[in-house]
Amino acid sequence: MIKTIIDKLLGKEPASRSRKPRFGKREEVPASVHGIDLQLVDPRAIDVVRTLKDEGYEAYVVGGAVRDLLLGLRPKDFDVATNATPEQVKHLFRRAFIIGKRFRIVHVVYGRGREHEVIEVSTFRAFLDNSLAEQVSGNERTSKLALAHMKHAVDASGRVLRDNVWGPQDQDATRRDFTVNAMYYDPETQVVVDFHKGIQDAQKRVLRMIGDPTTRYREDPVRIIRAVRFAAKLSPLGFKIEPKTAKPLVESEHLLKDVPQSRLFDEMLKLLQTGHALASIEQLKKLGLAKGIYPLLDVVVERAEHPFVKAALADTDRRVGEGKPVAPSFMLACVLWQDVKNGWEQRLKKGFHAFPALNDAIDEVFEQRIGDVSGRGKLAADMREIWIMQPRFDKRTGATPFGMVLQARFRAGFDFMRLRADVGEVEEALAEWWQEFQTADDARREDLVAQVREEQRQKQKATQPARRVPRKVEAAESPLDDMAAQSTSELGDAPAKKRRRRRRKPAGNGQAAAADSSQA
């Protein structure tokens, strides 16, 4: 203890720490040990690595893809890390685009249209901590004026402000969050480069933070959310967060208040749209983070057991698992439908017209729940269209059904209504009718609309009150006939004869005039 204090005063590095590499010890693990199946690696990622290596650069598949390969899974996305700069990478590929301002990366694009695939290529970054706070010569593509006020790489609380400095591979590994996400795989030599015993942790099914967890959460509080997301994704495989990594999570939650709302919104969507929404909510509750991360996420967690919201989250997980696209507008529209519906009903009770009332309710929900986040305009437009479509599904006659199926967001609106039917909010028959209508040809559509029209006519006829029919005297056609029938009955039981209507004769005929006068 005394020797340690003296060493600090003299500026000497403690012997125990001097023997341990600051950024981890490099280990090269061969295929015979790690057992990765090369057939699970995307050929396009292999092509990117090979192209960079042929030009003399270092290049590896990195991050979650290596973790999944070690677990025998086929990764959905492949990222590549290299010591080449973004400009050098872009120069080597025909379709490559440099993106980002805070930290520039390269998207190498293969294929076109919906079938295109993007391999994300990033440059090794240096690890910066408090002792290196004056290193601010970063690599952002932004104005010098925007960076003029930034004199430190970290702020007073330890949160990293700038970490966009190129560096060696060992530092790039150390600045990553979890050990199982900090491995590098060379598909040509089939060697895994591991600095922090990530392979052992993957085998033990442990999520462990690189370095001191409290410090790492302070450097970037979003790692709190990432810890939840990875725990949810890997829990079916038996992964658990290491106790030392989990303990500071709740204590560090307040640090999220300093994170931009737009970034928290994006992280929330990753929690709910990567195929493990229900598991993520369970992890939030288990770790004591059910409230306080982000207001809208609090609403999702609170309503997760509501049948409609639970069905929507389960449906999102299912679609991701099947490789189908998912949209945040649909999922959030399901979560906030309860607010919209309540506001709509309140306005209708006050005498508002239906559609203005619905639009007002939607505007109120956007202000209260969504707030001002990046991309809200497009998100809000899609959500509004889904909600506005719901009352229109009730109108199945005239031209409305034909126009509905032509709308760009019809499928999302129908899927929303389909979920409502699944939980009993609307009739099952309504969902089945629209399911058939959207897939039918024109003739069948006309028949379906005609059937609805006939059903509505029959229903209206059945519910319409019976008309009061005036009492009639047999064989009488008018009040004059009533009088004739009465005079006939006075003469006896002789049957009354139906009187034939006569043409009025010209004036001057006394006999005819007397006869008309007697029947008046």
List 42, 170, 172, 177, catalytic entry:
177
Instruction: Say if CB 85 and CB 127 are below 8 A apart.
Output: no
Does the annotation mark 79 as catalytic?
A: yes
In whole angstroms, give the CA distance from residue 68 to residue 78: 10
Does the annotation mark 201 as catalytic?
A: no
- Residues in Cβ contact with 520 at an 8 Å cutoff, skipping those fewer than 6 apart: none
List 68, 79, 163, 201, catalytic entry:
79
Q: With 0-12 CB in 10 A as exposed, 13-18 as middle and 19+ as buried, what is 18?
A: exposed
Which tokens go with 212?
């001191």
Pick left, alpha or beta for residue 348 (phi over 0 → left; psi -120 to 50 → alpha; otherwise beta): alpha
**3-class secondary structure for 15-49?**
HHHHCCCCCCCCEEECHHHHCCCHHHCCHHHHHHH
Does the annotation mark 163 as catalytic?
A: no
Distance between terminal CA atoms of the chain? 133
In whole angstroms, give the CA distance from residue 141 to residue 115: 30
DSSP annotation string for 355-369: HHHHHHHHHHHIIII
List 7, 77, 339, 422, catalytic entry:
77
Name the residues annotated as catalytic. Answer: 77, 79, 177
